[in-house]
Amino acid sequence: MPPFRAAIILNYNGVMGLLSKLFGKKEEEELKRPQVREDEALIKTFEGHEDRVLGVRFSPDGRKLVSGSFDEKVKLWDVESGRTLHTMSGHTTWVKCVDYSPNGDKVASGSIDSTVRIWDVETGACLHECKGHDTEVRMIAFSPDGKTLASCSRDTTIKLWDVESGGELKTLTGHTSYIECVSFSHDGKRLVSCGEEPVIRLWDVETGKNTAIYKTRDRQSFSVSFSNDDSLIILSGRDAMVKILDAATGEIKHIMEGHEDGVRSVRFSPDDKKAASVANDESVRLWDVEAGKQIHAYRGHVLEVQSVDISPDGKMIVSGSDDRKIKFWKIV
C-alpha cells in the first residue's frame, strides 16, 4: 500500500476512534428518557454493553447470542440465563455488525476500524483479523457452509474471506456508492447487497459477477436478505418501508408500511411466513409475509433500534438498540 494511502487510512481510523471515545460512552444522566410502557410480549432484557448495541445474532441452536456495540466490544451471551460468556476486545472503534457461523463454533464482527475479526466461541479468542477494506465495515455474513465470510464496506466493495485462514479470497466491485448490507442465499450460490443507491445487486459467489440489479424505489437501503427458500428478498431503508421482492425477477410483491422512520434491519422467520423489522422510530415490528400486513408493533426501547434477529425455533425476536439494551420479544 502506498505510504500516503496508509496514512489516510490510519488517520481516518484514529479520528473514528477518537469520536467513539468522545461521543460514544455517554454519562448515565444523558440517556434518561421518558418511561415507555413495555409491551406485554417482552420476555427479558439484557444489559451489559456500555454503549449503543449495533448488532445481534442468535447461535444456530438458539442457546447463545452474539452482540456488537459502540463500546468497541463483542459479547457472547447465554440466552436462558442472560449470563455474559465472553467479552471480546480488539476492535479500535465501534463494532457495527456481528454474525454467528452455521456450525456454531465461531462468530465474526465488522467494525468502523475497517477490519473484520473472527472469534472462537469456546475461548473468546480472536482467530483472525481480516484487513483489506479501506474504510468502515457495515455488514458481515457467513456462508451456509461456514467456510466463507462476506463483508461489505463504505469503500464500495464486497470482500470474501476464507474462514479457516482469514485470508482474502476475492473482491466484488460494481456498487457506485456506500454498501450497507450483504447476505448469502441459503444455497450459498448468490449474494445480495444494498446501500446508498436506488437498487439492490445480486452476485454469483463463484465468479464474483454482478448478475442482476433490482430497483428499490428508495435512495438508500439499510438491510437486505433472502428468504430461507431463496424465493424472496426482504428489503428496508430510509423510506420507512419494508419490501418483499421476487428473488428471480425483482418484482416488488409487497410494500409494508407502519414504521415512522428509517428501517435499520429486517429478518425472515425460519418458516418464511413472518418477518421482523426494527427502526429509528424505536419500535420492533412483526409482519405477515404472505399478506403483506403488520401483525404487531412492540414498544419498550427508548432510542433507535439498530438490529434484529429471529430465533431458530421461530418463537422469539431479539433487538439491539441505541439505549444499550438487548430485548427479547415473544412472537405473537
User: What pLDDT digit, counting tens, does each position of 69-103 carry?
Assistant: 999 999 999 999 999 999 999 999 999 999 999 99
Give all strands (DSSP E) within 156-241, no chain letters: 157-162, 168-173, 179-184, 190-195, 199-204, 210-215, 221-226, 232-237
pTM: 0.90
Picking from 297, 180, 190, the residue whose alpha carbon sits closest to that of residue 238 is 180
What does the domain layout of the chain look like in residue ranges? 3-26+38-330
Residue 6: pLDDT band (50, 70, 90) is very low
pLDDT value at residue 38: 80
Question: How far apart are alpha carbons 331 and 328 in whole angstroms?
Answer: 10
CATH number of 3-26+38-330: 2.130.10.10
pLDDT value at residue 14: 53
The whole-number average pLDDT for the span 120-134 is 98
Q: Does 12 score more than 50 pLDDT? A: no
Q: Does 53 score more than 60 pLDDT? A: yes
pLDDT value at residue 304: 98
Residue 35: pLDDT band (50, 70, 90) is low
Q: Does 3 score more than 50 pLDDT? A: no
pLDDT value at residue 200: 98
